[in-house]
Amino acid sequence: MKFAKSVGWLFAGLMVVAPGWAQDAAKDYPSRPVRWVVPFPPGASNDIIARLVGQKLTEAWGQQFVVDNRPGAGGLIGGDVVAKASPDGHTLLLANPAPNVNSVLLHKQPPYRINDLTPVVWLGYAPLIIVANPKFPPKTAKELVDYARSNPGKVNWASSGIGSSLHIGLAVFQMATGANVTHVPYKGTAPALLDIVGGNIQLMYTTSVSAEAQIKAGRVKVLGIAAKKRQAVLPNVATFEEQGIMNAEAIVWFGMAAPANTPRPIIDKLNREVNKALQLPDVRQRLDQLGLEVEGGTAEKFDAFIKSEAARLTGLIKAGAVQVE
């Protein structure tokens, strides 16, 4: 009985001490360089945004935020690195639909679960756009739908991988339009775009962030925007709704996540500093140029959004629009 009481008092003491320890950990954070894992190759929108925000965090705290590109398995390789890392805030994830929701739900035995990652802050989102090789006959998304219907199975549509937002966006597009296309998954956006430019594949979803250089150089053409309003960076490109395509909106979102059980004071400290960075004039200007809609806000806001995305994908799975592998 005495032993039981002693153990009880021990745990009670831990419960009292733990919050103080967490506050001390946050006070000294970051105490060494922080690894920000990007689960996609260099050059994609995830990579660009992580380097932009990471540089501001480096300047604010005097510790390097080092971008570590870990592509593969639809974001699961990079996501797994973070999910299994020490929950001390020194290993973070560039959150994205693939590693945080899509790939986890689309695999029968994923290496981690959605709840193994803790949302920190929602950076923002960008609507998806359809880009095609300039020699591809359709000039608009509406013409693409008609072309695909007249040539079933002959249109090859790339994505950045199974479970990526580009893959899920394609599934939504097919459900909304009945277009019959062949999905060709790549290991990232950059290599897929290279094959679009080279004429090895016809078209794909991407963002104006990822395709900025190719669009400006005329190496790809934009057929439409999967959003309700036009983008300032693409003022002459019509939205799907303007072209008569309804219920096919699709975005790719970006954020910061940490391993589960990361102390809340560290989450809060990161959240505050990232929100500050998102309001800096040079950061806003660059994100505007890239067509990114800035969100920011609390960790709870980002958590609620991720849960809504998971519910949406679950509905697509039940409808047979995408398959669990």
Reported as a single tens digit per residue, the pLDDT across 153-182 is: 889 999 988 888 899 999 999 989 989 899
Query: Would the CATH topology of 30-125+252-318 be identical to that of 127-251?
Result: yes
Q: Residue 121: in which H helix or E strand, if any?
A: strand 117-127
pTM over 0.85: no
Identify the top-confidence range among 21-35, 218-232, 270-284.
270-284
- Cα–Cα distance measured from residue 232 to residue 269, given in angstroms and rounded to the nearest whole number: 33
Residues 30-125+252-318: name the CATH superfamily: Bordetella uptake gene, domain 1 (3.40.190.150)
Asked whether the beta carbons of 223 and 46 are under 8 A apart, the reply is: no
**What's the CATH code, domain 127-251?**
3.40.190.10
Pairing of strands 34-38, 91-95: parallel
pLDDT at 6 over 70: no
CA distance 44 to 182: 23
Identity of the highest mean pLDDT range in 1-10, 11-20, 279-288: 279-288
Rounded to the nearest 10 degrees, the angle between the axes of helix 2-28 and helix 264-278 is 20
The arithmetic mean of pLDDT across residues 107-124, rounded, is 96
- For residues 162 and 106, is the Cβ–Cβ distance under 8 A? yes
Question: Above 70 in pLDDT, residue 14?
Answer: no
CA distance 304 to 288: 25
- The answer, yes or no, to whether residue 121 has pLDDT greater than 90, is yes
Cα–Cα distance between 186 and 206 in angstroms, integer?
Answer: 12
Domain boundaries in the chain?
Answer: 30-125+252-318, 127-251
Q: What is the 3-state secondary structure (H, E, C) of 71-93?
A: CCHHHHHHHHHHHCCCCCCCEEE
Mean pLDDT of all residues in 230-259: 93
